Amino acid sequence: MARAVAVQVQTLVSGLDYSLRTMQTEWQERHTQDFAHMVHSTLQTYPRGAVLQVAVADAGGRIVYSSLQPSGAVAAPVSIAEREHFQVHQKNPGAGLFVGPPVQGKVSGQWSVQLSRALYRQGRFDGAIVLSVSPQYLAGNFRAMFDDPQDVIALLRDDGLFLARSHLQEQVLGQSVPPERVRLFADGQLQGRYVTAAPVDGVERMYAWHRVGDLALIVSAGLERRGVFAAVDTAIGRSMARNVAASVLVLLGSALLLWLSWLHRQSELQRWQSKKRFERLTQEVPGGLFQYCRDAKGRGQLVFASAAFDEMHGVQVDTHAPLHRQLAQRVHPDDLPVLLATIEASVVQCSDWEHTYRVYNEAQQLRWLHGHAHPHTEPGEDTLWHGYVHDVTEAQELQQALRESEERLRLSIEAVGDGLWVWDCISGQVQWDARCYEMLGYAPESFPMSYAAFMALVHPEDASRLASELHQHIDMGSEFRVDVRLRTQALGWLWVQSRGKVTLRNAQGQPLRMMGVHMDVQQRVAQERLLYALMDRFPSGILLADPQAQRIRGANRRLVQILELAQAPDALEGQSLADLPAALLPLLLPEGQALRGKHSQQLVDGRYLELQGWVLRDADGTLAHCWVVNDVTERKRREAQLQSLALTDALTGVPNRRAFFQRVEMELAHLRSGLVGDAVLIMLDIDHFKHVNDSYGHAVGDVVLKALVAQVARQLRRGDMLGRIGGEEFAVLLSGANMDVGMRRAESLRHAVAESAVEVPGLQAPIHYAISLGVAPLQPEDDTVDAILERADAALYYSKRNGRNQSTLWRPDLPAITER
């Protein structure tokens, strides 16, 4: 009984592990839809409640996927980093399948037994995938074997820890059998027997135990000792009582024979009941069970096949008929020879058998089956294989879909003229298709290709770069795409872009296979070189970025000079735009968007940069973003000089008539809007200035004008403005001053000038001069500056006409000046 249950448990665990390994591969390859489909298939394959959950933990132990959630996402953070089944894989990623102790799930909240395997990403530990099996499901199957609750079946780890028990399971989960029991399992024996009273219920039982294949699991079956020997003990007791009377000895012997006959019938009944229980158990286990026996004379026979085995193969297996004839009825003709050969090899070598093959079921549907069997030598030198078959049609269909996808890829590659290559990372052998050879001028398969042979074709200047890109892809998972020169049959060089991806890794994450393509990019490289040559000779700085405006695609030397960068133009390619000087980034990407149009900006060092941005497009969309950068510092300086010349009096350096009137217009606008309460305009003119020019010459007159400007400027406040209106006539704008203040300021200016003298080299005496002034207010209702100027002119003219060297405050009765 213990051996039969051990076979059932091995079948169950092997089937679950097959599903676990398939899900492990799909997760590692990031086939999200295929992974979800496999999880759903696993949950549907086993009875409801058998598989409680499929979960995935990352390298830190955080649950990142749970089948309990429809989307797979875990709502609240959950960690299993402290759990034994996670730590085993974290410390030893090559541990393979691990059966953990019963735990209460942090997501499911239910007791479960954890089957787990490690996950890898680019050869490094990336977490664990966990399949949680219900101990209640296991216990229910065990209870189907025994009707009497005094008889038990238990599933243990070989360290004695209970995983499931047919009765009183809730009292033993998480506990272990006594140490002396564990020592029975530790000596390497396959099976054994013992008699003991279980601590959980005190019932004395006769136990038989058996290992579960090559798993670290033990099945222990116990029959209550009193129930087994009760009838015999009673018969013996009665016999001893009757021995005192010789007269009834014959009757006692007869009764004993009848009783033993009854015991035999009871034994047969128990055997029949055990058989029925075993059959019920096989119906609960996914997959079909079988036993194949080869006797000492080499004769083989299928001695047992479960109903599920018959159903999967679409036949009613006859244990007396030759196996190959029965398989020939349903196994696909193409698979039958190989299937029989693997069976024969396993028999001859007395080794494990494992094979995948196709059969037609009763509905003539083609199904994929995966079988496994383990040999065990029986007494008498017979060899018995205990095995199972599992329906793996869905997994095979997924693999077929992948192969078809690869075939479509190959056809697509052929259509665009690229060459396909496949690298066996273990042996180093490389397969090139015909196009790979042809683009280099060789006949297809003209020489064997390997990694070493390929590297021998690579230009010496490109070899280290290619190797570096390849190692980064294998170790870090970065994109593998590199342009290299390969030697052609004509001993020339051809630019080829090689790109690819690792498509298969082993359990430790090491690469097994890599696939990719070679593309002839000779023409593209030539065009790029021409473009770069033009860019390098372009007088402006040029910067190219990818369509997302995130990474640099190209730059020229002039850009490096303008931005005073330490890197060469080639070194900028592939870098992020964010790595450029911080002051430049807002100019390239104002408000986070690539600049379109022209924009100028002064840098902190005083230089001016002018940038113009474009989006380069073709019919398929955006190709790149382009910026042209110029250092326009000198141009800005000249423009400033011209602007200054346009608004400044060349002789005195004060604002000219145009600039002064612009300032008055601004003040008038401020007055209208209420920004200032009052403003005054003072017009002033040098008295008898014509006499100065006539007496001393215009050069001396210019000296006097400059002296006047200097004297007036010393009297001005912040916010006041002095301008030359023409000839010897000047004007002063007093912002925020009323008429009284304006008059006082005018008089202050007049006195300051009258008290000064101009020293002129070459003249014996200094020149004394005076000024006349007119003061007029700015009024909000003034339409133009001319109205203000007319009032100030009228006041100035009044000062001139009434003796000069005086200031006049405008009033409405002053005569207007119609012509000046």
Q: What is the pLDDT of residue 638?
A: 81
Structural domain contains residue 402 = no
Average pLDDT, the chain: 85
Q: Which residue range is the domain that position 325 belongs to?
A: 287-396
Residue type, 159: D
Q: What is the SS3 assignment for 719-786?
A: CCEEEEEECCEEEEEEECCCHHHHHHHHHHHHHHHHCCCECCCCCCCCECCCEEEEEEECCCCCCCHH
Say if residue 657 is in the same domain as residue 712: yes
Whichever domain contains 744, its CATH number is 3.30.70.270
- The answer to whether the beta carbons of residues 627 and 638 sit under 8 Å apart is no
Between CA 79 and CA 58 the distance in angstroms is 9
Structural domain contains residue 350 = yes
Q: What percent of the chain has pLDDT over 90?
A: 38
Banded model confidence at residue 381, pLDDT cuts 50, 70, 90: low
Task: Answer yes or no: is pLDDT of 627 > 60.
Answer: yes
Mean pLDDT within 193-211:
87
Whichever domain contains 133, its CATH number is 3.30.450.20
Mean pLDDT within 302-323:
77
Q: Between residues 93 and 731, which one has the greater pLDDT?
A: 731
Task: Answer yes or no: is pLDDT of 249 > 50.
Answer: no
Say if residue 1 is in the same domain as residue 117: yes
Report the range of poorest mean pLDDT among 54-58, 191-195, 293-297, 612-616. Answer: 293-297
Q: Kindly tell me the burial class for residue 387, based on how many C-beta atoms sit within 10 Å of its own C-beta (0-12, 13-18, 19 or more).
A: buried
Mean pLDDT within 628-653:
80
- The predicted-structure confidence for 64-102, as pLDDT tens digits, reads as follows 999 888 878 877 888 999 999 999 999 887 778 999 999
Mean pLDDT within 424-435:
92
Banded model confidence at residue 279, pLDDT cuts 50, 70, 90: low
Which pair of structure tokens corresponds to residue 345? 């090899």
Structural domain contains residue 237 = yes
Say if residue 584 is in the same domain as residue 693: no
- For the chain, the maximum distance between any two Cα atoms, rounded to a whole number of angstroms, is 183
Banded model confidence at residue 248, pLDDT cuts 50, 70, 90: very low
Mean pLDDT within 570-580:
86
Say if residue 182 is in the same domain as residue 61: yes
Mean pLDDT within 292-317:
80
Say if residue 310 is in the same domain as residue 369: yes
Domain end call among 282, 298, 315: 282
| 3-class secondary-structure state, position 80 | coil
Mean pLDDT within 518-541:
87
Say if residue 190 is in the same domain as residue 206: yes
Q: What is the pLDDT of residue 820?
A: 45
Among residues 499, 495, 466, the alpha carbon closest in space to that of 481 is found at: 499
Say if residue 473 is in the same domain as residue 388: no
Structural domain contains residue 125 = yes
Structural domain contains residue 253 = yes
Say if residue 573 is in the same domain as residue 716: no
Q: Between residues 507 and 754, which one has the greater pLDDT?
A: 754
- The predicted-structure confidence for 757-800, as pLDDT tens digits, reads as follows 999 988 888 999 999 999 999 999 998 899 999 999 999 999 99
- The predicted-structure confidence for 122-168, as pLDDT tens digits, reads as follows 778 899 999 999 999 888 888 877 767 788 999 999 888 999 998 88
Between CA 383 and CA 348 the distance in angstroms is 11
Q: Between residues 531 and 446, which one has the greater pLDDT?
A: 446
Say if residue 613 is in the same domain as residue 745: no
Say if residue 159 is in the same domain as residue 60: yes
Between CA 819 and CA 800 the distance in angstroms is 15
Task: Answer yes or no: is pLDDT of 477 > 50.
Answer: yes
Q: What is the pLDDT of residue 409?
A: 65
CA–chain centroid gap for 491, Å, is: 43
Domain end call among 613, 635, 657: 635
Angle, alpha carbons 49-51-56 (nearest 5°)? 140
- Domains identified in the chain, total number: 6
Structural domain contains residue 133 = yes
Q: Kindly tell me the burial class for residue 632, based on how many C-beta atoms sit within 10 Å of its own C-beta (0-12, 13-18, 19 or more).
A: middle
Among residues 131, 129, 133, the alpha carbon closest in space to that of 29 is found at: 129
Between CA 292 and CA 303 the distance in angstroms is 6
Q: What is the pLDDT of residue 516?
A: 92
Say if residue 529 is in the same domain as residue 501: no
Structural domain contains residue 516 = no
Mean pLDDT within 729-756:
95
Domain end call among 456, 480, 511: 511
Structural domain contains residue 403 = no
Q: Please enumerate, as own/partner, the contacts of 158-162 that have beta carbons within 8 Å and a separation of 24 or more.
A: 158/185, 158/186, 158/211, 158/216, 158/217, 158/218, 159/216, 160/185, 161/101, 162/102
Say if residue 684 is in the same domain as residue 745: yes
Q: What is the pLDDT of residue 579?
A: 86
Mean pLDDT within 430-440:
93
